[in-house]
Amino acid sequence: MLPTHGAFERTSKSSMANLISRHGRHFTFTAIVYCMMLLIFTVFTIAIPASYFFIHLEYQQGQVDSEGDVNADFITEKLEENPGWRITNAGLSRFVTEDVVFKSADWSEARVIVAANGKQVFAKFPKHPLAWPVVSHRAPIKADDETVGYFYIARSLANIAYETCAIFLVSLFGSALLVYALNRFVLRRLRLLEENLSHRARFDVLTELPNRREVIEELQRRLARNKQCLTAVFFIDLDKFKAVNDSFGHAVGDEVLKASATRMRSCIRDEDFLGRLSGDEFIILLSLNDGGAVLNRISESICNAFSLPQVCLGHEVAITVTVGIALAPDHGDQAEQLIQRADTAMYAQKSTRNSGWKVYHPAMTDKVNHEVHLRARLKQALQRQEFELHYQPLVRLLDDKVIGAEALIRWRDSETGALVSPLDFISELEYSGLIVPVGEWVLRTACRQVMAWRKTLPNFHIAVNVSARQFIEHDFVDSVAHILREEKVAPGAIEIELTESMLFDEELTNSKLAQLKHIGVRLALDDFGTGFSSLGRLASMPFDVIKIDRQFVGKMNAGERERLVIVSIIALGHGLGMTVLSEGIELAVQRQALVDLGCERGQGFLFSRPIPAETFYANYVDCERPLLADGGVVADAQK
C-alpha cells in the first residue's frame, strides 16, 4: 500500500518507455531511424545525381537556345546587307562554311540550315549520331521581314550523363557506407534500447515482475479465455513495509521486495501469474479448474512463506503479508473491478491487525466505505481542532501523591457532539498515517500544559504515548527536539512511552533513545511483558521507567504464579535502575500488594479516570493533595 524507493524510481526512463507500444501502434525509435536512413539514401543516391543532371541540362539548353538565336540573327543580318543573296546563294554558302556559323561545331553538335520549303541547304553533322540525351533549338531566318528558312542546332549531353552516372555510383557507395555505419553503430543500439524500454513499459525494473499495465492486460486475457472456470485474483500487501524503509533504508527495502517476489514465486504453479502492482503490492492470478482446494493451499503457502524473517544486506527483517482474494465471475467480470475488490478484501483482513488472507464479500465494501468516511472525518477533526487531551494521574504509591499525568487523546466529534473513545479511531489514525501530525499536536499540547502546571508543581511531568508509526519516522527525534525548544520545556518535564513491540531494531532504537535522552526526555517502557522482548536488549536501552501491563495487575491475586510474574518484573526493573509503575490498579488490595512488593508508582481507576485538563488542575495541581483511594472497581476500559 506504500510506495518505495524502487517502486516509483527512474521516472524519466519510465516516461520514455511509455512511448513504446507493444502492439506497434506508435512510431518507435527504430522506425524513426529507418526513415532517416531512407531519406539519407534517397538524397545521396537520387537527389544529388538528379540535381546535378538537371542543372546541367537546363544550362546546356540555355546555351543551345542562345547560340541558335545568335546564329539565325547573324545570317538574317548578312541577307539584309546583301540584297542579291538568297538562302541558297553561293556567297552565303561560303560565309556559312568559312565564317562563324559552323566553325565551332564539333562531334557533339549538329547544325543545319533549312529553306522555308523544307529543303536542307547547309548541314554539319558529327561522324557518329548524337548520343542521348540531346538538347536542340530552331531559330527562324528572315529576309525582308519574311521567314526564308530555319537554323537548327542540336547538342548531345552524353558527357553530362556519364558524369551523372559516376556521381550516382559514388553517392551509392557513400550512402551504403553511411547506412552500414548507422546500422552497425547506431541502429543496433537503438534496437536494444527500444527492446529495453519496451520491457520497462511492461515489467517492473526492481523485481523483473510484470507491472500494473501487464497485470491488467493478462487478467483481461484470462477473463476472456477462462469462461468455464473461476479466475482468482490475489491482492498481496507487505505488512509494515514503510517501517522497513524508514528503519533500514531504501536499499534494504528494495532487497526485501526482491526477496518477497522470490518467495511468492516459489508458492505458485507454473501456469499462475505473478506481478507487482505498485510499491509493496503484488498480484497473483490463478485459474481454478479444480475448485477451491488450490486457492486454500496457495493462500496458506504464501502466508507461511513469510513466517520466517528475511536477511537483507546484513539486516534481519521480519515481514508478513496480508492477502485479499476476489473471484471471477462471482465478484465481477472486469479487471479493474476484480483488483479493487481483492484490495477491499485485503484491507478488511488488515483491519483485524493480523496477517492472513480473506476472500471478498460484498459486506466488506460497506466496512471499507465506513473506514474511508472515518478517515476523512479524522482529517477534518485535525483541521478543526476537535481533538482534546484528558489526563490520568500518575501516583506515588507510598503516599498517594500525584507526581505526574499521562496524556490520553480524545475526539469530540463535531457531527454528533459525543466524545469518541480512542479505541474507535486510533487504529485508523495509525493506518492512514494521520497519527504523525496528530502525535505532534499531542506532544505540543502536553508541553504547554506541563509548563503551566510546573509553576505550581515544579517536579511535575506528563507522559505521552508514541506510536510505532511516529517512532519510525526518520525525523522523529528532530521533531520532538523542535517542539521542546519552541515550548521552552524543562528537562524531565516530558516522558515518552514506547511499547516493546516498537523496539525491533536494536541499533536504530538505541540511537534514537540516546538522542531523546540527550535532549532531556524521560523514557518509559509501556505494557512490559506483552511483547516478549529480549532481556539482553532491554538492558542496553536507557529507559527511566518500566510499566507493568494491566493484565498482570488484574491477575496478581489469582494465584502464586501470577504474583511471581509481578515480583520478577519489579526485581528486573530495580536491577536495571528503573522506576517501576503499575497500570490498571482498580482495587485498594492491588495497590497495597504492589506497595508491599516494592512498586513505587501506579495509575488506574482506583485513583482517577482520565479527566479534562481543567478538572485535573482543580483536583490535583491547584490543591496539591494526595489521592484518597475509594477501593471501587471500574470495569470499563482504562484508556
Section 180-202 average pLDDT: 77
**pLDDT digits 0-9 by tens, 513-548:** 999 999 999 999 987 866 545 566 777 889 999 999
Q: Of 189-193, 389-393, 550-554, 623-627, which range is least confident?
A: 623-627
Q: Residue 426 carries which side chain, given as an amino acid letter?
A: I
**pLDDT digits 0-9 by tens, 128-152:** 778 788 889 999 988 877 888 888 8
322 versus 127: the higher-pLDDT residue is 322
**pLDDT digits 0-9 by tens, 164-190:** 899 888 888 888 888 788 777 777 777
Q: Of 29-43, 308-322, 570-584, 604-618, which range is least confident?
A: 29-43
C-alpha 456 chain-centroid distance: 54
pLDDT band at 443, cuts 50/70/90? very high
With 0-12 CB in 10 A as exposed, 13-18 as middle and 19+ as buried, what is 438? buried
Q: Measured in Å, how far apart are the chain's first and last C-alpha atoms? A: 29
For the chain, what is the radius of gyration of the CA atoms? 48
Supply the pLDDT for residue 637. Answer: 35
Strand order in the sheet with 281-288: 273-278, 281-288, 230-238, 321-328, 356-359
Q: Of 109-123, 270-284, 468-482, which range is least confident?
A: 109-123
Using left for φ > 0, alpha for ψ between -120 and 50, and beta otherwise, residue 523 falls in beta
Supply the pLDDT for residue 408. Answer: 95
Q: Nearest 5 degrees, angle CA 33-CA 34-CA 37?
A: 85
Q: Mean pLDDT, the chain, as a whole number?
A: 83
Q: What percent of the chain has pLDDT over 90?
A: 39
Supply the pLDDT for residue 476. Answer: 92
Section 113-139 average pLDDT: 82
Section 553-572 average pLDDT: 87
Cβ within 8 Å of residue 451, ≥6 positions away: 487, 488, 489, 490, 493
Residue carrying the nine cell digits 460484498 = 362
Section 156-165 average pLDDT: 88
Cell numbers for 18, please give them: 511509455
pLDDT band at 389, cuts 50/70/90? very high
Q: Residue 264 in contact with residue 302, Cβ under 8 Å?
A: yes
CA distance 135 to 389: 105
Q: Residue 324 in contact with residue 349, Cβ under 8 Å?
A: yes
Domain annotation for the chain: domains and CATH numbers: 10-202 (no CATH), 205-360 (3.30.70.270), 386-621 (3.20.20.450)
The answer on pLDDT for 639 being more than 70 is no
CA trace torsion 547, 553, 556, 562 (10° rounding): -50
Global confidence as pTM = 0.58
Supply the pLDDT for residue 626. Answer: 55
CA distance 631 to 267: 57
Section 608-622 average pLDDT: 91
Supply the pLDDT for residue 625. Answer: 55
Number of neighbouring beta carbons within 10 Å of residue 252:
18
pLDDT band at 9, cuts 50/70/90? very low
Supply the pLDDT for residue 8. Answer: 34
**pLDDT digits 0-9 by tens, 85-104:** 676 665 566 666 655 556 55
**Strands, E, within 292-399: which ranges?**
310-312, 315-317, 321-328, 356-359, 387-396
The answer on pLDDT for 554 being more than 50 is yes
Supply the pLDDT for residue 502. Answer: 73
CA distance 497 to 462: 10
**Strands, E, within 515-586: which ranges?**
522-528, 545-548, 579-582
The answer on pLDDT for 402 being more than 70 is yes
597 versus 432: the higher-pLDDT residue is 597
Instruction: Give the relative orientation of helices 212-225 and 188-202 as an angle to the nearest 10 degrees.
Output: 70
Q: Residue 589 in contact with residue 595, Cβ under 8 Å?
A: no
Helices (DSSP H) in 351-415: which residue ranges?
362-383
Number of neighbouring beta carbons within 10 Å of residue 274:
19
C-alpha 50 chain-centroid distance: 54
CA distance 124 to 102: 7
Residue carrying the nine cell digits 477533526 = 381
C-alpha dist (Å) from residue 40 to 51, 184, 187, 505: 15, 16, 14, 63
C-alpha dist (Å) from residue 566 to 416, 531, 552: 42, 16, 7
Supply the pLDDT for residue 85. Answer: 67
Q: Nearest 5 degrees, angle CA 341-CA 343-CA 349?
A: 105
The answer on pLDDT for 500 being more than 90 is no
In DSSP terms, 95 is beta-bridged to: none
The answer on pLDDT for 5 being more than 60 is no
Cell numbers for 577, please give them: 535502575
Q: Residue 243 in contact with residue 318, Cβ under 8 Å?
A: no
Supply the pLDDT for residue 321. Answer: 93
CA distance 2 to 436: 16
Q: Residue 583 in contact with residue 603, Cβ under 8 Å?
A: yes
Q: Nearest 5 degrees, angle CA 475-CA 477-CA 480?
A: 110
pLDDT band at 302, cuts 50/70/90? very high
CA distance 107 to 85: 30
CA distance 240 to 382: 24
Q: Residue 550 in contact with residue 568, Cβ under 8 Å?
A: no
Supply the pLDDT for residue 116. Answer: 80
Cβ within 8 Å of residue 628, ≥6 positions away: 400
pLDDT band at 10, cuts 50/70/90? very low
pLDDT band at 430, cuts 50/70/90? confident
Q: Residue 284 in contact with residue 246, Cβ under 8 Å?
A: no
The answer on pLDDT for 286 being more than 80 is yes
